[in-house]
A and B are shown apart, each in its own frame.
Chain A
Amino acid sequence: MFVLGRRTAGAVIAGAVMMAGLSVAGAADEPANIIKYRQNVMKANGGHISAIAAIAKGDVSFMDQAEDHARAMAATAGDILPLFPEGSDTGADHRSLPAIWTDWAGFEKAAKAYEDAMPALVEAAASGDRAALGGALRDVGQACKGCHDDFREDK
């Protein structure tokens, strides 16, 4: 018989509960509120990015905080997909393109690429090396842009 470790089992159950919770949220919440919520989550990313950028550029010398910002982004990087349930394209101004729902696999790929860029950012932030941080930030920027180019309307 196979035995699940207690922690693994806990994680699986917690995961299942979270998934259920999310899909309920996606189904029941007002589309307008989901749109605003996801825009705020995105803006939070933007906030962390600009904070890290100020450190990488040398505008400010809070290098000891860079890793906190990177970890905050890494922690939420996996949260993107549930923010875009079917039907969350009306009720508020937004720039999400229909391609998100017609090419969900492509959207998932863009989200995954973004998540995958995170460990390097955290590592560079922890290293305290400004040049390395700038480089990792550019890579993350490519991942943001990669998704925005295909799935967010141009201005």
Chain B
Amino acid sequence: MTTWTPAGRKRPAGGPARRFAAPAVLALCGLSSACGSAWAQGDAEAGEAVFIAANCQSCHTDYANDGALLAGGRALKTPFGTFYSPNITPDPKTGIGNWSDEDFRRALIHGRAPDGARYYPVFPYTSYSGMTDQDVADLKAYIFSLPPVEKANRPHDLKWPFSWRWVMAPWQWLFFHPERFAPDPERDDLVNRGAYLVDTLGHCGECHTPRNRFGVLKDDMHLAGQEEGPEGGIVPNITPDPETGIGNWSDNDITWLLITGFLPDGDNVQGGMGEVVEHSTSRLTDTDRQAIAAYLNSLPPIVHQVGPPRETGDTDTGGGGDEFDY
């Protein structure tokens, strides 16, 4: 039996021992609850898989202006104003080259900057907070193996009061309660892996789940789609409701979309989802794509029509009264 690991890969030999048989470190860490990463040694190669599944590059690379990988500056328009993603290359001056492992872990898991400031949830730490310490450590090792790029961050251009970063303190206090991902023993390994890929790393819900007026994802509408997505457009319901969601899709239809970007009707996805496919899901392993499909199809179906109903195949020929009847 293979055991499920959050990253879906074989642990390097000696991994578990290295992680758990370190009483001295544990003893020290006992003093500080924020010490969890001290025994997780990063492996850059494994980190690349995490990086792909978490799609860090889409937001942190300014593709529209041929920006360098992870050098930031990409504009992210939201109802609160425009955010410009920061440089997260290992450049010590303008990137995160001086960050400790703990700084990095705190950013992803707790949404806090090294100086304690709170991040806006447009950086989806709200999802990433479920990541395992090992994945965080591997991810950092990978990012720090990439070329540093010197490029100063551009300040966000936000509407008041969101321009006050401190409003994120009460927001986090009220709405953000980091919770590590825990596999559900009732579900099989593949579905658990899919849950980790969809809800934690892939942060699919950041687009596919509607939000309340505080910008908080509605738990009872998990992945049920929304009319006003992050880019203003429609984000479809991807729960397995046959009428309003993707209940009529086979697992094969889902994995095919994740590889090629083609929908079952032969159209292709574009916009945010086009990027997800290009930078992330098309580069996952087959098993991981199957895990995503298995998890999506295991969800409770939610009836929620987003945008116009899917066409049944009737074709509007236009014109006057001389339409074909077929």
Contacts and interface: CB of A to CB of B under 8 A. Distances in A.
A47 B318 contact: no
A71 interface: no
Interface residues of B, number: 27
Contact of A155 (B234, B259, B264): B234
B274 A149 contact: yes
A112 interface: no
Contacts of A57: 252, 256
A155 B266 contact: no
A56 to B, nearest CB: 9
Contact of A152 (B234, B266, B270): B270
Given A33-B318, A57-B252, A155-B233, A149 B270 contact: yes
A137 B261 CA distance: 11
A32 B315 contact: no
A102 B286 CA distance: 41
A88 interface: no
A50 B265 contact: yes
A59 B318 CA distance: 33
A49 B262 contact: yes
B262 A53 contact: yes
A37 B316 CA distance: 9
Interface residues of A, number: 30
Interface stretch (A3-11, A18-26, A38-46): A38-46
B246 to A, nearest CB: 15
Interface string B249-274: 01010001001111011111011101
Interface in B163-207: none
Nearest to A154: B271
Q: Which 10 pairs across A and B sit closest by C-beta, in order of nearness?
A: A46-B266, A36-B318, A49-B266, A154-B271, A50-B266, A155-B234, A33-B318, A155-B233, A154-B233, A46-B267
26 contacts: A33-B318, A33-B319, A36-B317, A40-B316, A46-B265, A46-B266, A47-B265, A47-B266, A49-B262, A49-B266, A50-B262, A50-B264, A50-B266, A51-B266, A53-B260, A57-B252, A59-B252, A134-B260, A141-B261, A144-B268, A145-B274, A152-B270, A154-B233, A154-B272, A155-B235, A155-B270
Interface of B: 231, 233-236, 250, 252, 256, 259-262, 264-268, 270-272, 274, 307, 315-319
